[in-house]
């Protein structure tokens, strides 16, 4: 599987320290990255980011792809890959 666009796939994962679901989501994204080698993952601790703390209401994990919110409070690798496939 590959990113069909010419633009890199930039993923920003908003996490909270001590949140087990955030950790599991990161592990899943890292596993998914093996299928999408051009994918860049940036992990942001929500308490270190005023921008995300206020806009998300503190909900973690949240996943932004190319500056668009794709998931908030939940994550599905299958749905993530399906959305990547639709990028043109």
Contact 56, 70 (CB under 8 A): no
In this structure, is residue 10 part of a structural domain?
A: no
Confidence at residue 88, expressed as pLDDT on a 0 to 100 scale: 60
What are the mean pLDDT values of the chain's consecutive 10-residue runs (88 residues total)? 62 91 94 90 85 70 92 93 87
pTM, two decimal places:
0.82
Number of domains in the chain: 1
In this structure, is residue 3 part of a structural domain?
A: no
In this structure, is residue 5 part of a structural domain?
A: no
In this structure, is residue 1 part of a structural domain?
A: no
In this structure, is residue 38 part of a structural domain?
A: yes
């Amino acid at each position: 599987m590959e990113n069909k666009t010419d633009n890199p796939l930039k993923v920003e994962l908003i996490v909270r320290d001590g949140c087990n679901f955030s950790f599991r989501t990161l592990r899943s994204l890292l596993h998914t990255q093996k299928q999408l080698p051009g994918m860049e993952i940036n992990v942001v601790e929500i308490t270190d980011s005023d921008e995300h703390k206020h806009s998300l209401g503190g909900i973690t994990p949240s996943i932004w792809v190319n500056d668009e919110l794709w998931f908030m409070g939940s994550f599905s690798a299958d749905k993530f890959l399906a959305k990547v496939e639709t990028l043109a």
